[in-house]
Amino acid sequence: MKRNRLGDSDLTVGEIGLGCMSLGTEEGKAVSIIHKALDRGVNLLDTADLYDAGRNEELVGKAVKGRRDRVIIATKVGNRRIPGQEGWVWDPSKAYILSAVKESLRRLQTDYIDLYQLHGGTIGDPIGETIEAFEQLKQEGLIREYGISSIRPNVIREYAERSSIVSVMNQYSILDRRAEEAVLPLLHDRGIGVIVRGPVASGRLADGRSIDKGYLDYGVEELLALRERLERLVSPARSMAQLAIRYSLSHPAVSVAIPGASSEEQLDHNLGAADVQPLTGDEIAAIRVITKSNVYTEHR
């Protein structure tokens, strides 16, 4: 699998990683999927303390035992569970981040995290304090690098200007081209790597599941018509999902795409995108002609 440098960091990642949120909570199945991914050349595993109340981190930790030096573990922080209270609250404070990292390290059974990401963020956060926390963790050797997971341009700009983030995780696909307007050019200029989530738009660009719910500003009929037009770019050697993953990798700012997988079959299909040719300039242009150049309307 092709490897890319993550931003200006020393982290080198396979161009397709594994988003671990969809693994489920059954240990045998989840560990088997992760092992197969690693055997196929995946080296970036993305999890979060939020997923299944920490169970996802535990499963990743079990799966990488004996293989830790081959894996780049990315996890996230910022969503805090209050004992006796349902759900989570947002807490990007320095005190909480310095506390939460210890629990993630315990669940992951490791003494360092390769990429620690803020799991969201608003323009009203104490951003300076949040940055201080990540910088302290780097100095202490508990994390190698840090980044943010955000679709808010105003938040992304603040961190790009004020911190030493090496990555931004952002939703980007044929159906969600909002990042093309300003976010991807900004990050490319700053040497900050993009980790793409949602490259197959929750299955709408794969098996068509959930298509009856629409997607962003696409209605059901629009999605059906678009899938028909995209079929012209599909071949026996390249499925719709693989076409979509390759599109998400086509922007020069993007370092890695992390489609999720809930089965080994789905994993195999996604990773097949690493074996097909990158899209040509003409193919990228054709996709952009038939899709919406949608833009962010909030958090600009």
Residues catalogued as catalytic: 51
Q: How far apart are CA 105 and CA 78, in angstroms?
A: 15
Phi first, then psi, for residue 73 (nearest 5°) are -95, 125
Phi first, then psi, for residue 276 (nearest 5°) are -100, 160
Q: How far apart are CA 300 and CA 296, in angstroms?
A: 7
Residue 117 tokens read as: 């990401």
> Among residues 196, 195, 139, 156, which one has the least CA distance to residue 11?
195
Tokens 């081209």 label which residue? Answer: 177
Q: How far apart are CA 22 and CA 56, in angstroms?
A: 9
Coil vs helix vs strand at 19: strand
Which uninterrupted H or E stretch holds 168?
strand 167-171
Residue 231: burial class (beta carbons within 10 Å; 0-12, 13-18, 19+): exposed
The amino acid occupying position 186 is: L
CA-derived radius of gyration, the chain: 19
How far is CA 62 from its chain centroid? 21
